[in-house]
Structure 1
Amino acid sequence: MRVDAALAGTWVDRWERQQERYAVEREERFTVIADVLEQTVGHRARPLVADLGSGPGSLSARVAARLPHAEIIAVDIDPLLLALGRARHPRVARWVETLIGRPGWIGDLALDRPLDAVVSTTALHYPPPDALLGIYRDLAGALRPGGVLVNGDHLIPEEPPLAELALAIGRRRAQRKGTGAAEDWSQWWAAAGRVPEFADLLTARERQLPPTDGPGNGLSAARHGELLREAGFRQAGPVWQYGTSSVLVALR
């Protein structure tokens, strides 16, 4: 099921605007992720990068712009977002529809060599800790020695006073930038549901997406680091943070 490129462009641009509501300093976070990749794998002739929970390719497109010699695999379970990404960024990535963490999902990526890097934004705060540990183990097995995982996500401090401060900083930043007035997630999906061209993709989406329980796992950067080290990564820790918006790096 394909989407017209012009229609996809309109809806991906609209997606970008509504996502600004949820990620403090989203563009800067993307820039930091690309900085890490350039520093760690940019010297390789054809670095292989997997973008987990890619959606319509927001991060994949930015990585491709920074590292045009990279081979990118955009991975998501949502057929509409993948179709929008394929149409909007046809030469950016190879698009793979699979559920991250389900048995055999690494095989769905059809890797011809070990990954050099894995990136993700706002996808790895959903799985519960046991499932996330399994995902991290899968990734540790798929990455080459010396490979890197870079996760941009909402990582809230464990201590309640610090958590409240981090959330308040994010709210203040959103007020200053005016991002809180943008269309939200629910409004975007409600509007997409009224587009006739999306009907088949939305039907497929209802079949594909697993049920979700609550807003996410609520894990801190420290807890992610513990799980990553348990999964086989040598080192893990945050390299950038603004409020609760963080970039966590793990080295294989």
Structure 2
Amino acid sequence: MERWERQQQRYALDREERFTVICDVVEHVCVDRERPTLLDLGCGPGSLSVRLARRLPDAEIVAVDMDPMLLELARAHHPDVARWVEAVIGEDGWTDTLGLRGGLDVAVTTTALHYLPAPVLLKTYESLAALLRPGGALVNGDHFPPDARSCSDLTAHVGRRRAERSGDESHEDWEAWWSAAAADPELANLFELRQRSRPSSGGGGENWHLPVSRHAELLRESGFSRITPVWQVGDSCVLVALKD
């Protein structure tokens, strides 16, 4: 789990600040809710859910991911933080597995939805709009490239150079972490289950990492009329969509 945190930091230098901003938004949206219900989309091993639980200890957190191995790590290390649910976000009926008893106050996600093709992302946003109570919010922290390709190349270059200066590139990368996990005897059964359960075609191709403007279009189509970035460093951004 410690190595997971370090390799994630390699790809998002301001990851902790981004988590903090997301928690700030959730706290503000839920200020009048005694026991808010929060949904963590693409939760992985629970990094964001843990931070939300610290900030809002009375919240009910439902955390969903399609990866059985990462979910088992979350259950093992943070059993009381959230209700951990395995589901493929965007598939037909995926929200039925969440077991939400009432209205949802806030849905949060970080570096998780960029792999969804635009049509699936639209369906996902529509599903979340249906779940959220009036005044609720969807909070998405991710890398959103600029609309122009030349600007996108520029922000990517600046990000790489910044990472080099920080020294975080010395940490193992995504592929190295997964290779180590696959070689760990204690995780062998979970890793095999992960390989069997992965969707056959989950790639988004040219739809990966859509710009904020495209996300805003899809959110408006889904019924969110108030959309705004609340924090940004380079192409790392926290985008908030409020439900009327």
Alpha-carbon shift at residue 215 of structure 1 (Å): 8.3
Measured in 2, the distance between the counterparts of 1:33 and 1:147 equals 14
User: Relative to structure 2, which stretch is displaced further, 153-162 or 131-140?
Assistant: 153-162
Q: Which amino acid aligns with 1:42?
A: V
Aligned to 2:102: 113
Aligned to 2:213: 222
Alpha-carbon shift at residue 216 of structure 1 (Å): 5.6
Measured in 1, the distance between the counterparts of 2:213 and 2:195 equals 34
State how 1:1-252 maps to structure 2 within 5 Å: 12-210=1-199, 211-213=201-203, 214=205, 217-252=208-243
Q: Which amino acid aligns with 1:212?
A: G
Change (3 A) 1:192 1:215: farther
Gaps of 5+ in 1: 1-11
SS at match of 1:20: helix
Measured in 1, the distance between the counterparts of 2:167 and 2:223 equals 41
* Count of equivalent residues: 241
Q: Decide whether the 8 Å contact of 1:53 with 1:77 is kept in 2.
A: yes
Q: Decide whether the 8 Å contact of 1:140 with 1:231 is kept in 2.
A: yes
Q: Which amino acid aligns with 1:183?
A: E
Measured in 1, the distance between the counterparts of 2:89 and 2:43 equals 11
Measured in 2, the distance between the counterparts of 1:91 and 1:139 equals 24
Q: Deviations for 1:36-93, whole angstroms, at most 9, x for unmatched residues?
A: 1111113310110000000000000011111111110110010110000111111110
Measured in 2, the distance between the counterparts of 1:180 and 1:192 equals 20
Q: Decide whether the 8 Å contact of 1:56 with 1:81 is kept in 2.
A: yes
Measured in 2, the distance between the counterparts of 1:43 and 1:13 equals 35
Measured in 2, the distance between the counterparts of 1:46 and 1:15 equals 30
Alpha-carbon shift at residue 155 of structure 1 (Å): 0.4
Q: Deviations for 1:190-230, whole angstroms, at most 9, x for unmatched residues?
A: 00111111111111101211133358623101110110011
Measured in 2, the distance between the counterparts of 1:88 and 1:215 equals 36
Measured in 1, the distance between the counterparts of 2:26 and 2:161 equals 30
SS at match of 1:193: helix
Q: Which amino acid aligns with 1:241?
A: Q
SS at match of 1:248: strand
Q: Which amino acid aligns with 1:170?
A: G
Gaps of 5+ in 2: none
Measured in 2, the distance between the counterparts of 1:42 and 1:71 equals 14
Q: Decide whether the 8 Å contact of 1:128 with 1:217 is kept in 2.
A: yes
Measured in 2, the distance between the counterparts of 1:70 and 1:215 equals 37
Could you list the runs of 4 or more consecutive aligned residues of structure 1 that deviate by over 6 angstroms after TM superposition?
none
RMSD: 1.3
Instruction: State the identity %.
Output: 56
